Each structure stands twice: as C-alpha cells, then as structure tokens.
Structure 1
Amino acid sequence: MLLSGRHAVVTGGGRGIGRAVAARLRREGAHVSIIGRDAAALSAACAAGDADAQAACDVTDAAAMAQVLARLSADQPIDIAVANAGAVETGPFLRSPAERFRRMTEINLIGTVNLFHGTLPGMVERGHGRLIAIGSTAGHRGYAYVSAYVAAKHAVIGLVKSLALETARSGVTVNAVSPGYADTDMVASGLDAIVAKTGVSREQALTDMVKANPQGRLIAPDEISQAVLYLCGPASGSVTGQSLTINGGEF
C-alpha cells in the first residue's frame, strides 16, 4: 500500500473533510491519528475504522497541541500532518468586529501553525515529511460577507508558500488543498442559516451557493481526500509551496 509504515495526523478528523482524509490515508496503509474538539465524533470515526487513534484537543491551544502530538508520536513518529480543523463565520465587514477576525485567525491559521510547529522538527530530523493544510478557494479570491474567513485562509496559503521555501532542501514538502464549497456539515449549517434568514427554499439556497462553480455542484470530501493522498505519496516529492484548487474550474 502507498503509505504503509507511515503515521498521519489529521486535525478536525471526526467528520467531513477531515474524516474522509483520515479514512483515505488509513486505506492506503497509514497509521492514522485524529485530533478534534468533539470526542464523540472522534470515537465514532475510530469505531468505524476510519482512524486508529484519537485525541480531544483545541487546536488553537499551543501547549495542549504540543502535549497531544508528543503522546501520539511516542510509539511512531509523525510523517504526515494534515491541518484540516477550521471554521467560518459570516457577516458584512462593518458588522464583523475585530474579535471575529481573531477567532477566524485562531482556528484557521494558528491551528495550522500549532500542528506544523509540533510535527516539523521530527520530519526535518528524519529527512522526510508531508505538511498539508486544507485551505479554501477563499484563500485565493475574495467572497462577500466572509471577510474574516477569507483573510484567515489567505494567511494559510501565505504560510504554506513561505514554509515551503524554508524546508525546500529538508525532504519535507508543504502544500495546501483548497476546495470550493464542499458537501460537509459546515456547508449544511450555512445553508440552514441562509434559509432561516432569507426564507428562500433550501434548493434555491444551494443553487445560489454553487453558481460560481462551473460544474454547478458541491465538492465531495472524497475528491479532496484524493488530492491529499497525492501530496502524501512519492510522486509529489518535487511539489511544494502549492495550493491544489478543487473547484470545478471556478478560476
């Protein structure tokens, strides 16, 4: 199997894209550890065979993340780190206080920083590793009414590009996978909010949401997991500092 003998850690691995990524990497032979705040969701993923180990942790807490990563890597070093944990809040800029920007930065950027801080040193020491951030098309263009989220995701892409230069000769690659609207709980909650706020039908809300995607559909989590798998494999050794956009040709 492609990842036999490798240890992968996925944050936000209890559901949605994170769980799909964890399951994909495990099917390819990796030992997979998942991290997240929802212990029940993590347990369910492990019980279903989508991961091997779990740890409940707030990824924005640097000290807690360092402890969890040290424990998870005690028996097997971490070869692959997928920073998937994230969140989005909506609202016009003038109704988005600085605290909203701080929250979006903490979960989307600092959560990624904490994972990479805790896993990169060992990868560099061993001369091999894969750091992957789950970004977003919002890291490449603007979207109205989500300025805090867009700013944070742009920062994630900037981190990936900068860190790739620092690690270019270390055997570690640093990349992002940036999907458009995906078929996840987060998007479902967003649709619920639109329906509740505007009174439009859920079908119309979905149509409006995906109209920027030329394929006119949500991205399946499994499509994203396939891109992550590619970046984890030997064929991607010279691919670093990139953001693979999974967006149906949106741009």
Structure 2
Amino acid sequence: MSISEKHAIVTGGGTGIGLAIARALAAEGAKVTITGRRQAVLEEVATEGLYPAAMDVRDEADVCATIAAAVEARGPVQICVANAGIAEGKSLHKMSLEFWRNMMATNLDGAFLTIRECMKSMHDTDWGRVLTVSSVAGVRGLKGAPCYTASKHGLIGLTRSLSEDYLGSAFTFNAICPGYVDTPIVERNTVSISERAGIDAQPALQTMVRSNRHKRLLEPEEIAAAALWLCGPGSHSINGQTIEIAGGQV
C-alpha cells in the first residue's frame, strides 16, 4: 500500500523525532500536517509536503478545531503519529501535582485527543496507521523519572487497547519506543542533569549515552525509518506492538 497522497498528521512535528518522521513520510509522497505549539518553528521547517498548523495537544478544543481544519484542507487522516511529548526527570519527593498533571496532559491526554480526532475521518477510509511515540521508559522503569515513565507506560496501554478494539480492521496501532535520541530534548536534559548533579555537560550527556545498549545516541532518522516500515507494504499484521529501538535488548 503506497502512502503517496495520503494525509498524515504528526504532532510535535517541528523538531526532533517528529520532524524526521514527517520528512520521511513527505519524501514518500504523503501530505503531512505538522503540529506544535510554536507556529514560527513549524513554518521554518515546512518544506514541500509539510503543512504547519499550531496546536496545543493539551487543549481539547484546539486539537478538535486544528485536526478538523487539516481534514478539510487535505482530506481524511490515514496516518496519525502521536509524537508530541515532554521528557523531564524529577524524583517523587520533588514532584508537585502541577508537574505531574502537565506531563500527563501532554504525553498521554494529548495522544488520546489526537488519536480520537484523527480516527473520526480515518473511519471513512479503507486503510490507516496509528503510531504512538513512547519510549524505552514505557517498557521498563526509568530511575529518577516516575512521572515520565508512568506517562509512557500509559501510552503503550492506550495503543495496545486500541489495537484490540480495531482487531481485524484496516487500521493498526503500534508504539515506537526509542532510547535516547540526538534531539533538543537530550540537549535540555544534559543541562538539567548537569545542574542537578553538579557535573560538567559531557559527563551529564554520557549518563544518557550509556543508557543506550550500543553506547551511542540514536539518530532521529532511525526512528523515522521504523515509522515508514510500520506504514509500508506488508505491515498489516504488525499490530499492538512495541518497537524498541535502543541498540540492544531493553
């Protein structure tokens, strides 16, 4: 099944993993709506095949209106990539309820809202792919990040449940679970770890590099390649799976 001319929505599509996936889909001929909270960032990267649309995944009304407008402009969504998320570690005794709720609103509520609204038009088609971008933290506990870990476990649970709901249909639901990827998130976490631990930036970065089994950061394009595979020919029997990309066993 070719993805040429199919409408894809990629949340968090202005940077990092989301942008890499969006570009890979566009290179195969898809019409890709990229969303994020900063319109200027989206417009800066919106090359051919990418259509910028500012959207806050935490805001239900915004998600509903933005996806409806994208469907009106480019047709039913047939590839939904729920990628938008935040990653920040904080130990239990340092977490406020506000921190917890913002993480869940972005990483989990945002994915739920995005998928729900995309499925409204996908139901009218004969083929569809829903991909969630979880994390290796979604399949194991990540030390020092219980909130992030819980949100990514929840995202996998949502993905698996939806795969059962639509079992035998033309739609599949899978979660991609990367380790540490060379993106702005890692750059920000390097600063955060450095400040919390009182160490230089390079040792702080190495704490994340060593967490990947092959001892290097992943490239965003590696995650994009997995996304293309899950949307490509012969992918119809890959459903309800966690695709772990971390340089070895998780």
Cα deviation digits, residues 220-250 of structure 1 (max 9, x gap): 1000000001111122111110110111114
Q: Is the contact between residue 62 and residue 114 of structure 1 (CA under 8 Å) also seen in structure 2?
A: yes
Q: Does 1:157 align with 2:186?
A: no
Specify every segment of 5 or more residues in structure 2 that has no aligned partner in the other structure, as ranges. Answer: none
Where 2:210 maps in the other structure, the secondary structure is coil
SS in 2 for 1:216: coil
Is the contact made by 1:124 and 1:170 (CA closer than 8 Å) also made in structure 2? no
Which one of the candidate residues 59, 63, 68 is aligned to 1:70?
68
Q: Name the % identity.
A: 39
Number of equivalences: 249
5 Å-filtered alignment, 1:160-199, equals 160-199=159-198
Q: Tell me by how many angstroms 1:5 deviates.
A: 1.8
Write the letter of the residue equivalent to 2:12. G
Summarize the alignment of residues 120-139 of structure 1 with structure 2, pairs less than 5 Å apart. 120-139=119-138
For residue 211 of structure 2, what is the aligned residue in structure 1?
A: 212
1:57 corresponds in structure 2 to 55
Separation in 2, partners of 1:139, 1:82: 17
Matches for 1:4-19 after TM superposition, within 5 Å: 4-19=4-19
Could you give the per-residue CA deviations for residues 165-213 of structure 1, whole angstroms, max 9, x where no partner exists?
0011221101111100110101100001222333323222222222222
AA partner of residue 4 (structure 1): S
SS in 2 for 1:244: strand
Provide the C-alpha distance between the structure 1 equivalents of 2:101 and 2:207, rounded to a whole number of angstroms: 28
| Alpha-carbon spacing, 1:100–1:250, altered in 2? closer, same or farther (3 Å) | farther
Q: Which moved more, 1:206-215 or 1:235-244?
A: 206-215
Deviates more, 1:226-235 or 1:216-225: 226-235
Query: What secondary structure does 2:190 align onto?
Result: helix
Contact persistence 1:89–1:100 (CA under 8 A): no
**Matched-pair contact (CA < 8 Å) for 2:88–2:189:** no
Gaps of 5+ in 1: none
SS at match of 1:125: coil
Normalising by structure 2, report the TM-score: 0.95
Structure-1 separation of matches of 2:220 and 2:66: 26
